[in-house]
A = this chain, B = another copy of it.
Amino acid sequence: MTLSIIIIGDEILLGQVSDTNSRAIARTFTALGWEVCAIRTVGDDAAAISDAVRHAVAEADLVITTGGLGPTKDDITKRVLTDIFGGGMRLDSGVTENIERIFALKGLQLNDLTRQQALVPENCRVIQNRFGTAPVMWFENAEGKVLVSMPGVPFETEGMLSLVPGGVAEAVKLRFNPDLYFRHRSLMAGGISESALAERLEEFELSLPENLHLAYLPQPGLIRLRLDGRGNDAARLDVDFDDYFVRLRDAVGEYTVYDGDASAAEILIDALRRRGLTMASAESCTGGNIAHAITSVSGCSDVFRGSVVSYANDVKTGVLGVDAITLATDGAVSEATVRQMAAGACRVCGADCAVATSGIAGPGGAVPGKPVGTVWIAVAAPDGSVTASLHRFPGDRSRVIERATTTALLSLAAALDRSDCCRK
């Protein structure tokens, strides 16, 4: 089953905005067993859209287009699709109701331009857009080739792509493989490079049956492994899928940091919450990024008390209570300093545990024996013990900060797992 994607919009050709829709569509349908044969990007131009649609319909079983459906003058996609699939236009009362509902929610006045969005080609089936006013339109020609026209707004496209009832992926599944079932589940791995993990999992990957697939989704310091499965026999798929997921977890072994899909901050928040503990941080080279990662997660306030970003040495001594003599003799980027920073963060923020960082993010600041990327990380555990570790992270300033942040978050989570300490 082959899929061809068409992205419509002058703003993409001008380089004004990034196209994220094609990747979202490709990921969704690749996981559902489709092969994406091409992605075309064209402007808001009738001839170019028409040419791209004819090529795509000829080469693929399914064509998905995004964009060119808004109420503004440059939106000519509907006219082109009516020319290709035949018929006239009709007013769709469901779309009108949807537009009225959305405008009422926002307290906005409806104008005639927006009302025209309810005018759709006679030869299409409307899939109601629950995330915006432009309708999703489903076309099918005499040879059974399907074209789905979706809105260009990424939020709307991503929402309507999903497998949930009424979504585009569900409609495609019902049309092309009504008896196909899907399973997917993620595992987070850390403390290992992607290539080393791939080597470790080589045997497991070779053992996978044809209907199961393992995807690597790496981010700095953390690798998401997603097992995808599909099959016509739901019960059989369940048994096989669960069996191979257990084998995957065994193969990843001690590098498993979380069973599920989560960011490093979410893994730490979960580890704290399960134990009823609170945390704090003291940050030098990560410069607030640990606190930012944690506070990006909604509802973190039950476990996160605060952070002291001690960029200047005076703040390390004055606020965190780091010994001035330690700073003078060992330096800011040292085991002794980072240990005192972690203990200080715990104390001044009234937290059960803490993590601290001190290092050289670059490009300046390197000294003999301490190259750019040198980072000390200390963890103050709930039992009062403090441990520290030395790291050398590769890459530029932003990558060093990212890697140090992820490693610090996972170090504290691992320390909680190890100590198995629980206040509750």
B296 touches A306 (CB 8 A): no
**Nearest-Cβ distance from residue A280 to partner chain B, whole angstroms:** 8
Q: Given that A287-B294, A315-B306 are known contacts, is A43 also in contact with B48, CB under 8 Å in the complex?
A: no
Q: Does A371 contact B (CB under 8 A)?
A: no
Q: Which of chain B's residues have a CB closer than 8 A to the CB of A362? A: 298
Provide the bound-state CA to CA distance between A73 and B37, in Å. Answer: 19
A311 touches B304 (CB 8 A): yes
A308 touches B298 (CB 8 A): no
A19 touches B15 (CB 8 A): no
The 9 sampled A-B contact pairs (Cβ below 8 Å) are A7-B39, A12-B22, A13-B26, A19-B23, A22-B41, A38-B41, A38-B43, A38-B52, A289-B295
B14 touches A36 (CB 8 A): yes
Specify which of B25, B288, B364 is in contact with A295 (CB 8 Å cutoff). Answer: B288
Q: Does A30 contact B (CB under 8 A)?
A: yes
Q: Does A180 contact B (CB under 8 A)?
A: no
A309 touches B311 (CB 8 A): no
B364 touches A298 (CB 8 A): yes
Specify which of B40, B215, B401 is in contact with A38 (CB 8 Å cutoff). Answer: B40
Q: Does A148 contact B (CB under 8 A)?
A: no
Per assembly, the copies of the chain total 2
> Residue on B with the closest CB to A24?
B15
B319 touches A348 (CB 8 A): yes
A300-318 interface mask toward B, CB cutoff 8 Å, 1 = contact, 0 = none? 1100111111111011001
> Residue on B with the closest CB to A289?
B292
B15 touches A314 (CB 8 A): no
Q: Given that A24-B15, A306-B319 are known contacts, is A40 also in contact with B40, CB under 8 Å in the complex?
A: yes
A-side binding surface: helix, strand, loop or mixed?
A: mixed
B308 touches A314 (CB 8 A): no
> Residue on B with the closest CB to A13?
B36
Question: Which 4 A-B residue pairs are closest in the complex by CB-CB distance?
Answer: A287-B295, A288-B291, A15-B26, A15-B27
Q: Does A144 contact B (CB under 8 A)?
A: no
A314 touches B305 (CB 8 A): yes
Q: Does A299 contact B (CB under 8 A)?
A: yes
Provide the bound-state CA to CA distance between A211 and B362, in Å. Answer: 41
Specify which of B18, B281, B298, B348 is in contact with A397 (CB 8 Å cutoff). Answer: B298
Q: Which of chain B's residues have a CB closer than 8 A to the CB of A283? A: 288, 291
A349 touches B315 (CB 8 A): yes
Q: Does A363 contact B (CB under 8 A)?
A: yes
**Nearest-Cβ distance from residue A127 to partner chain B, whole angstroms:** 22
Provide the bound-state CA to CA distance between A305 and B287, in Å. Answer: 10
Determine which residue in A28, A290, A306 has the highest number of CB atoms from chain B within 10 A of its CB, and name it.
A306
Q: Does A88 contact B (CB under 8 A)?
A: no
B307 touches A348 (CB 8 A): no
Give the contacts of A310-364 with B (CB-CB under 8 A): 310-312, 314-315, 318-319, 348-350, 361-364
Q: Which of chain B's residues have a CB closer than 8 A to the CB of A37? A: 13, 43, 48
Provide the bound-state CA to CA distance between A215 and B14, in Å. Answer: 10
Q: Does A398 contact B (CB under 8 A)?
A: yes
Give the contacts of A32-46 with B (CB-CB under 8 A): 36-43
**Nearest-Cβ distance from residue A370 to partner chain B, whole angstroms:** 16
B298 touches A288 (CB 8 A): no
Q: Which of chain B's residues have a CB closer than 8 A to the CB of A215? A: 16
Q: Which of chain B's residues have a CB closer than 8 A to the CB of A305? A: 311-312, 314-315
> Residue on B with the closest CB to A36?
B13
> Residue on B with the closest CB to A288?
B291
B43 touches A40 (CB 8 A): no
Q: Which of chain B's residues have a CB closer than 8 A to the CB of A27? A: 14-16
Give the contacts of A48-72 with B (CB-CB under 8 A): 48, 52
A306 touches B311 (CB 8 A): yes
